[in-house]
């Protein structure tokens, strides 16, 4: 094996800039120098490869949990190898995970996920957030929002499965979410496009009077691992197109900060020849950073100072304003990102139409509110703080600064969309010159190792790029999005890996130390229902398998183990309702089976020890093989059985 020093010596002697250097043809084997020559690799390329390459069997240090955008799912990626390890299906059916094809997950994806009585089978995932304890990722849960349908999902990181979807009863679309308070007391979801609360109707000329936003504080029960909608509440907001948001921590714990970009209250042309929203919402020099005192809001909820809208307790806008649960401070034109620093002493806001990042000082904000020192009121009676008195300062970063993450050395890393750069800057000492790194291209979000915790790790950031025009082989007009891993450990930032993301537009991601996970390898004892975490009453042990007929209802209690289903023969009459109760008796790592019934759109995944339940009406007569869909053993093809549906009248 080559020692690292020898490898780099070889790399150096290959001469990065002279691919024409005479060298023997590398062929299939070849030494490093000749391979570098043949492939035109520089020493920097070889170094990047050495920093990211994982020999077979070597595990990654970090995991990225990335939004899968309109794929409605989560992409789990190892760092630094940038290998995709898993997709977690959240808002849409997914065949391999058997999610939404007849099994227990149907209740989550179709029933819990319904909005206003409508079944919705996709989502636009924007911001995954990991659960926190004391401001640190605790490796237990993951929350994501669906911008398109105003929903929040809970993923359990013991088995990487979506366990709950809550549907926002107030707003039609969200954006500032799902982000958590430092002990995951709440999962916060804030609105984007204003609409009458609770799904009511009002024409656009009533925009100012009847359209509203809301910040929903979903109460999370850490023991149960579920959001408790009954204990959740909201704060009514003006129709200002709230954008990204973040929770305070340490010095600013108890506060939530939310951007907005339509204080003009433009609703587009309204069919009245008014300007399109892109122009209508870009008139004011300042929009409003919303400051919510959620601990005070809790006391108002407890005191009953709420009204109920579509089943949810809402602190009315006038009450929120009068009690300073809601306060505003100006923010430069059409801001986008809103990111609290690790120590909670600053909030960085990026301006899409401004070249600066603005650094707010929560201590000054708190002081101004406590002193009752305001510079004005908005049309809804919300007090506004003086901009200059509330900030630590501003830094010029380039065209279109969006989102900001942090390292362990006091630096901030901001994505700058129009310039296509990652800009590193000192958020305390604003006079230190920023440093820019070009990325390919048009970076949206950026994520950092342990970046949203009270103690980021440094080492890596990932640029989440919207465009990838010349980075990959052209695969037609719909190009993949592109992640670039950036090494931030040295004095200069360097791109060391490109990863195409071909299944949706990722927005945000979080990166967590992999050793924080406590994943299971099997459901133990066999027969655990993953949605209750308990052994299901329908589970069977070996020898207990049976078919129970009760009139037109047939219950099949079936076991699943290498390499057969028991029973493997089910005979019913056309029109019977069948419930299959499946128990995997496996406990060994990676011994997953599948179960599919041909022609009946039934398909579930049977991980070791898992219980599944499928109910369907046998309305089509005929002979339907059922079989295992995972190549589980040498006799996998033999792992099958027959469902015989006897025609009516036969």
Nearer to ligand CUK, 89 or 465 (CB): 465
In the complex, what is the shortest distance from the CB of residue 67 to ligand CUK, in angstroms, rounded to a whole number? 8
Distance of closest approach, residue 466 Cβ to ligand CUK, in angstroms: 8
Count CB atoms within 10 A of the CB of residue 467: 16
336 near ligand CUK (CB under 6 A) = yes
Length of the chain: 650
CB nearer ligand CUA, residue 267 or residue 643: 643
Q: Which of residues 202-231 bind ligand CUK (CB under 6 A)?
A: none
193 interacts with ligand CUK by CB under 6 A: no
Pairing of strands 611-617, 569-573: unpaired
628 interface partner picked from ligand CUK, ligand CUA, none, CB below 5 to 8 A per type: ligand CUA
Q: Smallest distance, Å, CB 631 to ligand CUA?
A: 6
3-state helix, strand, coil in the chain (%, to 5): 15, 40, 45
CA distance linking residue 62 with residue 44, whole number of Å: 23
The entry of ligand CUA, ligand CUK, none near residue 313 (CB within 5 to 8 angstroms by kind) is none
Closest residue to bound ligand CUK by CB: 507
Least separation in angstroms between CB 576 and ligand CUK: 48
Which residues, 6 or more positions from 391, have their beta carbon under 8 angstroms from its beta carbon? 358, 359, 360, 361, 364
Helix/strand/coil for 345: coil
Provide the binding-site residues for ligand CUA, judged by CB under 6 A. 563, 593, 628, 630-632, 636, 639
Q: Cα dihedral sign for 109, 111, 116, 120?
A: positive
76 or 639: CB nearest ligand CUA: 639
- Residues 415 and 529: their CA atoms lie apart, in Å, by 43
- The residue (of 126 and 610) whose beta carbon lies closer to ligand CUA is 610
Alpha helix segments (H runs only) across 248-293? 277-280
Contact 194, 239 (CB under 8 A): yes
Report the residue number, 464 or 614, with the smaller CB distance to ligand CUK: 464
| Residue 7 CB-density burial (10 A; 0-12 exposed, 13-18 middle, 19+ buried) | middle
Q: Identify what 507 binds: ligand CUK, ligand CUA, none; CB under 5 to 8 Å per kind.
A: ligand CUK
- Cβ atoms of 258 and 382 closer than 8 Å: no
Spatial separation of the C-alpha atoms in residues 601 and 597, rounded to whole Å: 7
CB nearer to ligand CUK: pick between 80 and 401: 401
Which of ligand CUK, ligand CUA, none interacts with 639 (beta carbon under 5 to 8 A by kind)?
Answer: ligand CUA
Considering the complex, what minimum distance in angstroms separates the CB of residue 176 from ligand CUK? 9
Asked if 352 touches ligand CUK (CB under 6 A), the answer is: no
Nearest of 566, 624, 631 to residue 598 by alpha carbon: 624
Pairing of strands 509-513, 528-529: unpaired
Q: What does 63 bind: ligand CUK, ligand CUA, none (CB cut-off 5 to 8 Å by kind)?
A: none
Q: Which two tokens stand for residue 425?
A: 């800057």
Shortest reach from residue 88's CB to ligand CUK, in Å = 19
Between residues 151 and 403, which has the closer beta carbon with respect to ligand CUK? 403
Short-list 446, 498, 496, CA closest to 472: 498
Site for ligand CUK in 169-188 (CB under 6 A): 175
Q: Select the binding partner of residue 444 from ligand CUK, ligand CUA, none (C-beta < 5 to 8 A, by kind).
A: ligand CUK
Decide which of ligand CUK, ligand CUA, none touches 402; Cβ closer than 5 to 8 Å per partner kind. ligand CUK
- Going by C-alpha positions, the residue among 146, 124, 151, 135 that lies closest to residue 69 is 124
What token pair was written down for 372? 């009752």
Least spacing, CB of residue 639 vs ligand CUA, in Å: 4
127 binds, among ligand CUA, ligand CUK, none (CB under 5 to 8 A by kind): ligand CUK
How far is C-alpha 553 from the chain's CA centre? 41
The answer to whether the CB of 51 falls within 8 A of the CB of 496 is yes
Asked if 192 and 173 count as a contact pair (C-beta separation under 8 A), the reply is yes
244 binds ligand CUK (CB under 6 A): yes
Contacts to ligand CUK from residues 396-425, by CB under 6 A: 402-403
Q: Tell me the site size for ligand CUK, rule CB under 6 A.
A: 11
Of 340, 333, 232, 221, the residue nearest 291 (C-alpha): 340
Residue 444 binds to ligand CUK (criterion: CB under 6 A) = yes
The DSSP H or E segment spanning 6 is helix 4-14
Say which entry of ligand CUK, ligand CUA, none residue 630 contacts (CB below 5 to 8 A, set by partner kind).
Answer: ligand CUA
User: Residue 244 binds what, of ligand CUK, ligand CUA, none (CB under 5 to 8 Å, by partner type)?
Assistant: ligand CUK
In the complex, least distance from residue 402 CB atom to ligand CUK, rounded to whole angstroms = 6
CB crowding 214-230: b at 16 or more within 10 Å, else e:
bbbbbbbeeeebbbeee
Which residue ranges make up the site for ligand CUK (CB under 6 A)? 126-127, 175, 244, 336, 402-403, 444-445, 507-508
């Amino acid at each position: 094996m080559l020692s690292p020093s020898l490898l780099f010596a070889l790399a150096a002697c290959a001469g990065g800039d002279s691919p024409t250097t005479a060298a023997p043809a590398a062929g299939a084997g070849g030494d490093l120098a000749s391979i570098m020559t043949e492939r035109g690799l520089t020493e920097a390329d070889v170094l990047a490869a050495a920093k990211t390459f994982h020999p077979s069997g070597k595990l990654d240090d970090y995991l990225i949990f990335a939004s899968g955008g309109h794929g409605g799912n989560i992409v789990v990626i190892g760092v630094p190898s940038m290998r995709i390890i898993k997709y977690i299906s959240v808002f849409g059916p997914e065949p391999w995970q058997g999610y939404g094809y007849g099994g227990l997950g149907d209740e989550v994806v179709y029933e819990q996920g319904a909005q206003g009585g409508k079944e919705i089978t996709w989502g636009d995932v924007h911001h995954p957030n990991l659960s926190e304890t004391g401001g640190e990722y605790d490796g237990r849960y993951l929350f994501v929002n669906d911008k398109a349908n105003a929903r929040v999902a809970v993923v359990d990181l013991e088995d990487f499965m979506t366990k709950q979807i809550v549907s926002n009863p107030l707003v039609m679309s969200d954006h500032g979410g799902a982000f958590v308070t430092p002990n995951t007391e709440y999962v916060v979801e804030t609105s984007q496009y204003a609409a009458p609360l609770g799904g009511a109707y009002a024409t656009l000329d009533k925009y100012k009077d009847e359209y509203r936003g809301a910040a929903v504080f979903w109460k999370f029960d850490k023991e149960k691992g579920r959001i408790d909608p009954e204990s959740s509440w909201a704060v009514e907001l003006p129709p200002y197109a709230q954008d990204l948001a973040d929770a305070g921590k340490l010095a600013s714990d108890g506060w939530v900060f939310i951007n907005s970009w339509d204080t003009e209250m433009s609703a587009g042309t309204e069919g009245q020849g008014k300007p399109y929203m892109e122009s209508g919402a870009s008139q004011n020099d300042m929009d409003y950073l919303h400051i919510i005192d959620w601990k005070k809001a809790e006391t108002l909820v407890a005191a009953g100072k709420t009204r109920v809208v579509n089943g949810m307790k809402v602190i009315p806008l006038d009450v929120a304003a009068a009690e300073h649960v809601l306060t505003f401070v100006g923010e430069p034109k059409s801001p986008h990102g809103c990111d609290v620093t690790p120590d909670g002493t600053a909030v960085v806001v990026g301006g899409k139409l401004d070249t600066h990042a603005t650094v707010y000082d929560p201590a000054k904000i708190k002081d101004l509110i406590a002193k009752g020192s305001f510079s004005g009121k908005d049309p809804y009676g919300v007090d506004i703080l003086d901009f200059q008195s509330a900030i630590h300062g501003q830094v010029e970063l380039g065209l279109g600064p969006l989102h900001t993450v942090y390292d362990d050395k006091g630096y901030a890393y901001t994505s700058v969309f129009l310039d296509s750069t990652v800009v590193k800057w000192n958020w305390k000492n604003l006079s230190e010159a920023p440093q820019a790194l070009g990325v390919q291209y048009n970076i949206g979000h950026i994520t950092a190792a342990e970046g949203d915790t009270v103690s980021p790790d440094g080492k890596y950031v990932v640029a989440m790029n919207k465009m990838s025009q010349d980075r990959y082989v052209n695969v037609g007009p719909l190009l993949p999005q592109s992640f670039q891993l950036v090494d931030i450990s040295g004095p200069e930032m360097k791109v060391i890996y490109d990863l195409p993301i071909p299944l949706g537009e990722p927005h945000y991601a979080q990166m967590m130390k992999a050793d924080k996970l406590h994943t299971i390898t099997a459901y133990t004892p066999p027969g655990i229902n993953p949605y209750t975490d308990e052994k299901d009453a329908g589970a069977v042990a070996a020898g207990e398998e049976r078919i129970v007929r009760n009139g037109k209802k047939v219950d099949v209690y079936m076991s699943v183990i290498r390499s057969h289903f028991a029973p493997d023969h089910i005979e019913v009459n056309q029109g019977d309702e069948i419930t299959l109760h499946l128990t995997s008796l496996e406990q060994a790592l990676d011994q997953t089976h599948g179960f599919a019934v041909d022609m009946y759109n039934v398909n579930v995944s049977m991980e070791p020890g898992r219980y599944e339940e499928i109910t369907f009406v046998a309305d089509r007569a005929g002979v339907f093989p059922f079989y295992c869909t995972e190549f589980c053993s040498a006799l996998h093809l033999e792992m099958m059985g027959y469902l015989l549906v006897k025609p009516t009248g036969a």
